[in-house]
Amino acid sequence: MKKILFALLFVFGASAAASAQVVVDGVNINNLEQIQMIRMIAQERFLSNKVTIFIDYGQSIQGGGRRQMEVINPADGKRIRFNSVMHAVNYLIDNGWSYTEAMVLPNEGNASTTGGSTQYLFTRDS
């Protein structure tokens, strides 16, 4: 009985510890107290119904470009592949961020929204 109780407590503790982590380029932004607002960029992928998600929290992206804005799974260090924009929105909400606003921005030099991006603003839950 003690082993079962210990196993349940371990699983619960591990899931609670992992739930408050949004890791971007090796940095858990939930631990950065000075970060109060982030921008999530959802970009359509060419010839796909999937999207690529980037997080801008004010980090320097010199030389690495948007790769330094990808959300990383803290368990294995690999990029999280979101099924849809709502998957990413729910991920951020589950990890302590509140949705604030969304903007649709056309691709650079393109007047239509095809190939553009939608940007979402989130604030830290108090």
Query: For residues 38 and 97, what is the distance between their CA atoms, to the nearest angstrom?
Result: 9
Structure tokens at 100: 């604030």
Phi-psi region of 96 (alpha: psi -120 to 50; beta: other; left: phi over 0): left
Q: How far apart are CA 45 and CA 48, in angstroms?
A: 5
pTM of the entire predicted model = 0.72
Tell me the per-residue pLDDT of 41-62, one tens digit each, with 9 for 90 and over: 988 777 777 778 899 998 877 6
What's the pLDDT at 64? 59
Phi, psi of 74 (to 5 degrees): -65, -20
Domain segments of the chain: what residues?
A: 21-124
- Segments in the chain below pLDDT 50: 5-18, 110-113
